[in-house]
Every structure is written in structure tokens, then in C-alpha cells.
Amino acid sequence: MRPEVQRRDLLIALLALGLLLAWEASGWERSLTHHFGSAAGFAWRDSWWSRGVLHDGGHWLGTGVLLLFVMDTARPLLPGPDQRERLFWLGTTLAVALLVPAFKRVSTTSCPWDLIEFGGTVPYVPHWLLGLSDGGPGHCFPSGHAVTAFAFFGLYFLWRPHRPVLARRVIACVGLAGVVFGLTQWIRGAHFPSHTFWSAWLCWTAFVAAAEARQLLSSKPHAPQVQFLS
């Protein structure tokens, strides 16, 4: 991978982090969430299209793409990366798909629909106040549903060196799906916008780190072979 590409990937991660911190400091997301819910709750929490189509359907879509990824790794559908490279990015995708749920398991942040201001029973506590519980069920930060899309950033890194046009189309589709899945959870009251943004950042940064690690391993000089005289 070219050094300028590595620097660009890292720059994107750093710029996105800066924007995320600015968003956190703005305090706008609670105001935005009040456009979708009120003290009476969230009208679209369990509607057939937000829950059945966009939420549950999104999980099925992600499962289908993952199965296609596995099939392509086992028996390539398009020429390009070798099998070792496909295996690396498939394994990284699976690891990233488990990363956000691992964060959620230890999170004390409850969902918007659990909060008093949206008809729930617990007060709002910012998720960045680590270790401070709101007293609710927790396990709501960051967004797991958005990762159903963002975990496939790995397909972009897989195809970028071989088919850059395809890679750009892939990341556009992944980004669009992530935004749709994130918006679905905002209007349902399942997540604040920052939950989605942090999921996207975590996924992207994890793949950038994986690409750096792979580059270092591939450039590591092999030990010289010792030949013995007979």
C-alpha cells in the first residue's frame, strides 16, 4: 500500500474524530432526537417499516453480504486478490463486527427510549462520562445495528488495490446503508446520532489499523535461509 494512501486513511480517521468530538460538544443530538420522540415515546418505534423492514431486514441483508463474502473467499467470484488476502479481510471484518457489541456489553448508557424525557424511567447521562450509570438497562452505546453495514468497510480495503472503481462503489453503498440503518434507530428511539457516528469511526479506524499491521507484516524481511554443505 502506498504511503500517501496510508496517510490519507489516517487523516480521515483523525478528521472524523475531530468532527465527532465537535458534535459531542454541541449538545445538538438531544434536540434532534426530540424531532422523533416526545414524553409519549417514539411513534415509529415498532412500526412495520422501521422495525420490520429497515431493522430486521437490515440484519438479513448484512447476513447475506457476509455469506457472499465467505463464498468469494472460498471460491473467488472475481479475479483480483489472492486467497490469503481475502481471508485476512474476511477475518478482520468478522473481528470488527464483534468489536462494537463488545463495547456495548460493558456500556452503562441506556437508549433514548429508556429516558424520562422520552417516556422512560431513567435520567440522561452522557455516554462519555465513563463509569457513571444512569440506572437503566444500559448496553446501548455505540450502535450495533449500524455496524451491520459499517463492518463491510473491509470490502473496500480488500478491493482497493485491485479494482479501485469497484472499491469506491462498495464504500459508497456501505456508507449509505450505514446512514439508513443509523437513521432507522434514531427515529425508533434506539440510539442517539452519536452512537451511529462512533460505530462508523470505530469500524473505519479498526480497518485502518489492520491495513497498517498487514503492511508491516508483509514488508518484514524474511529470515535468510541457511544452506548446509554436505
- If we measure between CA atoms, which residue out of 46, 127, 59, 68 comes closest to residue 97? 59
DSSP assignments along 71-116, one per residue: HHHHS-SSSSS-HHHHHHHHHHHHHHHHHHHHHHHH--PPPGGGBG
Q: Is pLDDT of 161 > 50?
A: yes
Query: Does the pLDDT at position 229 exceed 60?
Result: no
pLDDT in tens, 131-145: 889 999 999 999 999
For 194-220, how does the pLDDT look when each residue is reduced to its tens digit (9 = 90+)?
999 999 999 999 999 999 998 888 776
Summarised one tens digit per residue, pLDDT across range 4-57 is: 888 999 999 999 999 999 999 998 999 999 999 999 999 999 999 999 999 999
Q: Which of 2-6, 171-175, 224-228 has the highest mean pLDDT?
A: 171-175
DSSP category for residue 41? E
Q: Which are the contacts of 99, defined by CB distance < 8 A and separation ≥ 6?
A: 147, 202, 203, 206
Query: Model pTM?
Result: 0.92
